[in-house]
A and B are shown apart, each in its own frame.
Chain A
Amino acid sequence: MLRRSSAYVALLPMAITACVIYLGTTLWSLRVSFTSSRTFPVDTYVGFAQYVRLFGDDRWLLSLSNLAIYGTVVTIVCLVLGFVLAALIDWQVRGEAALRSVFLYPYAMSFVATGIVWQWLLNPTNGIQEMVRRLGFPEFEFDWIVDPDRVIYTIAIAAIWQSSGLVMVIMLAGLRGIDPDIWKAARLDGIPTWRIYVSIIRPMLTHSFATATILLLTAVVKLYDVVVAMTLGGPGTASEVPAKFIMDHLFGRANIALASAGSIVLLLTIAVLLAPVLYLRRHAAGLGSR
């Protein structure tokens, strides 16, 4: 009994982190979101007024729609690209290690560095647009980074470059776990290769797809660094995102109640998005992973 008490002492930092920090600060932000706090937290409760104000704020609504576009594009393209790369690499190619390193190295880079590189590559006067024009297509246009309607897609491009390798690694691990006999059986039945991937392999990788989706979605909601480094939310407010809205209102505009309301909305968003994927993953654990 005495010995077990050492385990309790050892877990004290974890207990404090879990209860005070993770649980406590979340509840604290929830509480602040129902007050009229500006620079400092106050105890004047205003019900859902901050949430009403939030959803009447054009910048917040634009942030949300940007996040929705970005999240959809990044998640789908990363999953497809990561799966295709993994499936191709899995065909016993030469130089597999080198190819894997190349596809994964961007994941070791920070979002800030990623944003800065792509800002330079997509800059219309020096970047890809200018290069293609010099190759003999003077009419070529690729100025999305300064186009308010398309700038969010350029941020998605940078993120896809950064994260596809992660999906590839997860998919490759899943593919390597598939019984080779399944391939032999499918071949004997004369099923075309693409059909084997779509109808047999993909359903068997549900667990891997769910894992990759969870990692991608968690990162999507946190989207902040790339935007700050690449566009600073511009041109104008065209590439604003919720995390940046919250940070700006916490530290620049001194409106912590509105920012807290935004952060709670973000938390609910990730909960709603992840719940079905986590359920799918747990359900698939018995079938797909083994």
Chain B
Amino acid sequence: MKSRGPARIGLYFFLICAALCFLIPLYVMLVTSFKSLDEIRLGNTFALPASFTLEAWRAAWGTVCTGVSCEGIRGGLVNSLRIALPSTAIAIALGALNGYALAFWRPRGANFLFAVLMIGAFVPLQVMVYPLVRVTALLQIFGTLPGIVLVHVIFSMPLMTLLFRNYYASLPVELFNAARVDGAGFVRTFVHVVLPMSPPIIIVAAIMQVTGVWNDYLLGLVFAGRDNLPMTVQLNNLVNTTTGTRLYNVDMAATILTALVPLVLYFASGRWFVRGIAAGALKG
């Protein structure tokens, strides 16, 4: 598959142009966030900042109004962390347990449940969102932290279960059988045999889940309640419900702050992120 001279130059030319196009939004976000509002009014959106200022970042972090209060986006960051961490831990624990039971124990009817779950992954959230409001209200957790965590765990269960089931199915079944011959039961086999072999898939699952929960808007808007609004909801409030002058530089700084956690996770985790996409998509 080697090509010669001009074709190869054309190839690189196209790829570099495409890469630049993909980078423009990130570039514009960054330069805008370092400009003063006066400079933005001059209109050179794509130019580098003439005078570099952190004013917008300070405002976005600590003083801008986000609909609930005027303490910047940092409260949203804390809320998103408080939502994402338990949602990830519980979802992974349940996913691992489900995957383990499905791959090794195969109880009767489990495949039917799994099929329902897999089909459920395609059902638009809008079908389930109102009944779930009633369910969480009934459990008296609507608009609370446990409420939003529960909802995230529910909606991530298909992907988490799929990831762990497929991973465990690829492990040699002899290990599992050996443990059973030695008299180890459901829990002991899980803890002593299966769990020690799980770190790779746990990392993949954690990356997918943190990114998914962090980037959610709809569930946070409906289920989190006023005191727990995640960063995405506060960002949207900040940008789209402000009255008076739009502070474009603050908007962009706040957008970068909101996107920072998944972006850092993405760039730091490299191939793990891609592995997660492949594991969730290709074998499904």
Contact = CB atoms under 8 A, between A and B. Distances in A.
A10 B110 CA distance: 11
A274 interface: yes
A229 B238 CA distance: 11
Given A8-B107, A232-B240, A260-B130, A88 B277 contact: no
Interface residues of A, number: 94
B110 A247 contact: no
B113 interface: yes
Contacts of B26: 105
A276 to B, nearest CB: 14
Interface string B1-42: 111000000011011001100111110110010000000100
B124 A6 contact: no
A103 B157 contact: no
A15 B113 contact: yes
A19 B116 contact: yes
Interface stretch (A22-30, A51-59, A72-80, A146-154): A22-30
B265 to A, nearest CB: 7
Contacts of A193: 3
B248 A24 contact: no
A110 B98 CA distance: 28
By DSSP majority rule, is chain B's interface helix, strand, loop, or mixed? helix
Given A112-B217, A120-B28, A14 B105 contact: no
Contacts of B278: 169-170, 173
Nearest to A247: B126
Interface in A240-290: 242-243, 246-247, 250-251, 256, 259-260, 262-264, 266-267, 270-271, 274
Contacts of A118: 25
Interface string B219-254: 000100000000010011001100000001001100
B185 A102 contact: no
Contacts of B240: 228-229, 232
A93 B15 contact: yes
A13 interface: yes
19 contacts: A18-B117, A23-B120, A29-B127, A85-B18, A91-B3, A99-B15, A101-B267, A104-B273, A112-B236, A120-B252, A131-B46, A170-B281, A211-B284, A218-B121, A218-B122, A228-B236, A242-B126, A250-B129, A264-B127
A266 B222 contact: no
B127 A267 contact: yes
A266 B125 CA distance: 10
A88 B12 CA distance: 9
- Among B15, B46, B284, the most chain A Cβ lie within 10 Å of the Cβ of B15
A242 B130 CA distance: 15
Closest 10 CB pairs of A and B: A22-B120, A6-B186, A110-B215, A25-B131, A108-B266, A7-B105, A18-B116, A25-B128, A263-B127, A246-B126
A178 to B, nearest CB: 10
Contacts of A271: 122
Interface in A170-203: 170, 173, 180, 183, 193
- Among A104, A112, A170, A193, the most chain B Cβ lie within 10 Å of the Cβ of A112
Contacts of A110: 214-217, 232, 258-259, 262
B132 A225 contact: no
A88 B11 contact: yes
A221 to B, nearest CB: 5
B66 interface: no
B185 A3 contact: yes
Given A85-B18, A110-B232, A267-B127, A6 B185 contact: yes
B94 A18 contact: no
B218 interface: yes
